[in-house]
Amino acid sequence: MNEAFVVSILAITIRAGISLLYATLGEIFTERSGILNLGVEGIMVMGAATAFAVSYHSDSAWLGVLAALLVGGLMALLHAFLSITLRADQTVSGLALTIFGTGLASFMGQRLGPGGTTMVGLQGPSFERFPLPLLSKIPYIGMSVFNQDILAYILYLLIPILWFYLYKTQAGLHLRAVGEKPQAADAMGINVARTRYLYTVFGGMLIGLAGAHLSMAYLQGWAENITGGRGWIAIALVIFAMWDPVRAMVGAVLFGGINALQFRMQAAGATIPSSFLNMMPYLFTIIVLVVITAYERIGKRIGAPAALGLPFAREEKG
């Protein structure tokens, strides 16, 4: 295989995987605290819409990113309030967030272009790819891994930081305790509700950023249904990753690879109709879920935080 081919495949793989990984990391931290946020798809699409709208009108890409972080955090805050303070059903609250977010993003997409018109087809500020000095000279991975946009580079730094935070710091220990044994964490003097609020909002911000990467770097523009189920795939990736940030990276590369393959086959004029090529990520998600769940069963490994999705109330403790 020649280098140019490998580089191009690898580059698309990573590019497609960035937003997935941001969203997956966000959901991992949310779920680690014991909160199941099924609103990923809705937050992501809102992140994409706000990032594009704000950057387009302000002519500043970074303001767009900031807006996506803010919107992601706010939507997650709503979910946190419903599921932590009001003890509402987390599954339904997450679904509501997705329906609400999809609707509002579509609404914004049709109204926030110049003079109240559509945002479809507009060209706004975007994050372009640039090669990193020295690192991009490495054969094969240089011009693929180290020739990406700034949000990708931030992500490269974020993965080891989040891993270290989760497993090697006191705060990470508290976070895991809250998700596994909230009663015990509470007895240790950790504020369970506050911890859950904190990481749900943090997770939402990362998910919002995932959306921003879609509309400002990967696809560079707004389109209805821009996320196309990526939020749900991210939730599946959390299970695949067994709630581990580094394993999430493997999953994102895997799904990015599916995307790259899809592009390649389409470009090569494959005889398979494009509808079937477009089904690949969804079909693959099901297959991955089946395999990983079976594997966890056989290995008797329970990956999910023990208190995931369960409300916690001090008064109710024994």
Partner 1 sequence: MSIVFEKRLKSSRIAGILTPVLSFLLALVFCSFILLAFGIDPIEAFSVMVDGAFGSTYALTETMVKAIPLMLTGLGVAIAFRMLFWNIGAEGQLALGGIAASYVALFMSDYLPGATVLPLMILLGALAGAIWGLIPALLKSYLGVNEILTTLMMNYIAILLVEYLYLGPWRDPDGYGFPGTAPFPEAAWLPRLTGRVHAGIIIAIIAAVVMWFILSRTRWGYEIRLIGENRNAARYTGVSITKNLVLVMLLSGGLAGIAGVAEVAGLTRRLYGLTVGYGYTAIIVAWLAALNPWGVIMVAFLMAGLLVGGDQLQIAMQTPAAVSEVLQGAILFFVLGSSIFANYRIRIKRTPRLAPGASDE
Query: Could you tell me the smallest distance in angstroms from the CB atom of residue 155 to partner 1?
Result: 24
**How many CB atoms are located within 10 Å of the residue 316 CB?**
8
Q: Closer CB to partner 1, residue 40 or residue 65?
A: 40
Q: Closer CB to partner 1, residue 137 or residue 314?
A: 314
Q: Closer CB to partner 1, residue 115 or residue 139?
A: 115
8 A C-beta contact, residue 212 and residue 68? yes
Q: Closer CB to partner 1, residue 53 or residue 61?
A: 53
8 A C-beta contact, residue 9 and residue 67? no
Q: Where are the alpha helices (DSSP H) in the chain?
A: 3-32, 40-58, 61-80, 90-111, 142-145, 150-168, 170-180, 182-187, 192-213, 230-240, 245-267, 274-298
Q: Closer CB to partner 1, residue 266 or residue 293?
A: 293
Cα→Cα distances 139→3, 17, 145, Å: 8, 21, 11
Query: Could you tell me the smallest distance in angstroms from the CB atom of residue 85 to partner 1?
Result: 9
C-alpha span between 299 and 293 (Å, rounded) = 10
Query: Could you tell me the smallest distance in angstroms from the CB atom of residue 65 to partner 1?
Result: 21
C-alpha span between 50 and 69 (Å, rounded) = 10
Query: Could you tell me the smallest distance in angstroms from the CB atom of residue 4 to partner 1?
Result: 32
Query: Could you tell me the smallest distance in angstroms from the CB atom of residue 190 to partner 1?
Result: 18
CA atoms 14, 15, 16, 22: torsion sign: positive
Q: Both tokens of residue 103?
A: 């609707």
Query: Could you tell me the smallest distance in angstroms from the CB atom of residue 255 to partner 1?
Result: 12
Q: Closer CB to partner 1, residue 114 or residue 160?
A: 114
Query: Could you tell me the smallest distance in angstroms from the CB atom of residue 165 to partner 1?
Result: 27
Query: Could you tell me the smallest distance in angstroms from the CB atom of residue 297 to partner 1?
Result: 6
> Which of helix, strand or coil describes residue 127?
coil
Picking from 48, 38, 39, the residue whose alpha carbon sits closest to that of residue 69 is 48
Q: Which string of b and e fits 1-18 if b means at least 16 CB within 10 Å?
A: eeeeeebebbbbbbbbbb
Q: Closer CB to partner 1, residue 88 or residue 253?
A: 88
Q: Closer CB to partner 1, residue 143 or residue 308?
A: 308
Residue with tokens 């937003």: 19
C-alpha span between 31 and 314 (Å, rounded) = 20
8 A C-beta contact, residue 73 and residue 133? no
Q: Closer CB to partner 1, residue 135 or residue 302?
A: 302
**Which residues lie across from 130 on neighbouring strands?**
148
Query: Could you tell me the smallest distance in angstroms from the CB atom of residue 239 to partner 1?
Result: 7
Binding site for partner 1 (CB under 8 A): 38, 42, 78, 81-82, 86-89, 91-93, 95-97, 99-104, 106-107, 110-111, 116, 228-229, 232, 235-236, 239, 273, 275-276, 278-279, 282-283, 285-286, 289-290, 293-294, 297, 313, 315-318
